[in-house]
Amino acid sequence: MRKTNQYLLIGMLVGVIPLTWMGFASSKEGLVNDLRVDIISNEGNMFTSEAEILDLMRGEDNILTLPVSKWDMSEMERRVETNPFVMDAEVYRDVKGNVLVWVNQRKPIGRIYHRYEKDSYIDENGNLLPTTARHTARVPLLEIDELIWENNLKETSYGNSLLELLKYIEQHDFWRAQIAQLVVKSDGQIEMIPQVTKQTVLLGTPDDFEKKFEKLMIFYKKILPTKGWNNYTTVNLKFKDQIICEKP
For the chain, domains (ranges, CATH) are 2-105 (3.10.20.310), 108-246 (3.40.50.11690)
Look at residue 230 in the predicted model and tell me its pLDDT. Answer: 78
Q: Could you give the C-alpha distances from 53 to 18, 41, 90, in angstroms and in order?
A: 35, 14, 12
- Residues 194-218 pLDDT 10s: 998 878 999 999 999 999 999 999 9
On whether the CB atoms of residues 208 and 242 are closer than 8 A, the answer is no
Is-above-0.85 flag for pTM?
no
- Residues 13-51 pLDDT 10s: 334 333 332 333 344 456 677 889 999 877 777 888 899
Q: Which H helix or E strand runs over 203?
A: strand 200-204
Look at residue 59 in the predicted model and tell me its pLDDT. Answer: 87
Kindly state the average pLDDT of the residues 172-182. Answer: 95
Residue 8 has pLDDT above 60, yes or no: no
- Residues 48-105 pLDDT 10s: 889 999 999 988 888 888 888 888 899 999 999 999 999 999 998 887 778 899 999 9
Residue 6 has pLDDT above 50, yes or no: no
| Alpha carbon distance 86, 107 (integer Å) | 9
Q: Could you give the C-alpha distances from 34 to 2, 30, 99, 245, in angstroms and in order?
A: 43, 12, 6, 63
Nearest to residue 105, comparing CAs of 37, 46, 153? 46
Q: Which H helix or E strand runs over 166?
A: helix 157-171
Nearest to residue 112, comparing CAs of 200, 38, 183? 183
Read out DSSP for 17-56?
A: HHHHHHHHHHHHHS--SEEEEEEE-BTTB--S-HHHHHHH
